[in-house]
Amino acid sequence: MRFPDAEPEIAALAALLVQGLGQATEDFPAPPVPPEQLQAKLEAYHSTAAATVVAETAVREQHAGKDRALEDLVDDMKANLKYAEVAVRDRPEKLSQLGWGPRRSASSLKEPGEVRDIRIVSEGDTWVILSWNPPVDGGQVGAYKIQRKGKGSAWKDIGTSVDTTQLLTNQSRGVEFDYRVIALNKAGTGQPSATVTVVL
């Protein structure tokens, strides 16, 4: 029989082992680890596993809340800036008081450069947090596109972000995936970043 790899199967085998050792003391009178000690370690595992689930849920909720708050903030900022552009359309230099300026012509915007230093910050059973550095050349980044692919498959868009860190949830377990990030703006897309590989 092969020792299991998956956590639920390990925990189930531990429970059976504790029960069996406790009931068959005549056959197994002196195990290296007494069943009481094994039971205590099994309970410690269950306790930390439950705490991990709570922590992972909190991380996902925090990221979702951050994204909603940022979207709210951006909407209100854009509304005020559009108003300001109209209010001083004959005196665009006044926009500098708001940390803003006249709109650039579309022709002056260049495609962004290549995203740098993509890395895995943290990972769980079905989620992964990616982080990266913005390009050092090219035009200003408007957003980032996150892509994923498995072995033998094509790259697939799985998310966008205006930040340089992104939580990706509902990722398949036990499957090797490559991830990469591409910077975008109105002029076009930059070169894809290097890839990172993970198996959850």
Q: How many other CB atoms are there within 10 angstroms of residue 41's CB atom?
A: 12
Mean of per-residue pLDDT scores for the chain: 91
| CA distance readout (Å), 49 to 14, 114, 133, 189 | 15, 39, 33, 42
pLDDT by residue, tens only, the chain of 200 residues: 889 888 889 989 999 999 999 999 998 999 999 999 999 999 999 899 888 888 888 888 998 899 999 999 999 999 999 999 999 989 989 899 989 988 765 557 899 999 999 999 999 888 999 999 999 999 999 999 999 999 889 999 999 999 999 999 988 888 999 999 999 999 999 999 999 999 97
* CA–CA separation, 44 and 51 (whole Å): 11
- Asked whether 147 and 183 are in contact (CB, 8 A), the reply is no
End-to-end CA distance of the chain: 25
Percent of the chain with pLDDT over 90: 67
| CA distance readout (Å), 3 to 12, 124, 130, 137 | 12, 22, 33, 52
pLDDT score, position 109: 82
Q: Give CA angle at 179 (124, 171), nearest 5°.
A: 35
pLDDT score, position 8: 86
* CA–CA separation, 52 and 69 (whole Å): 25
pTM of the model as a whole: 0.48
Hey, what are 68's tokens?
A: 């909603």
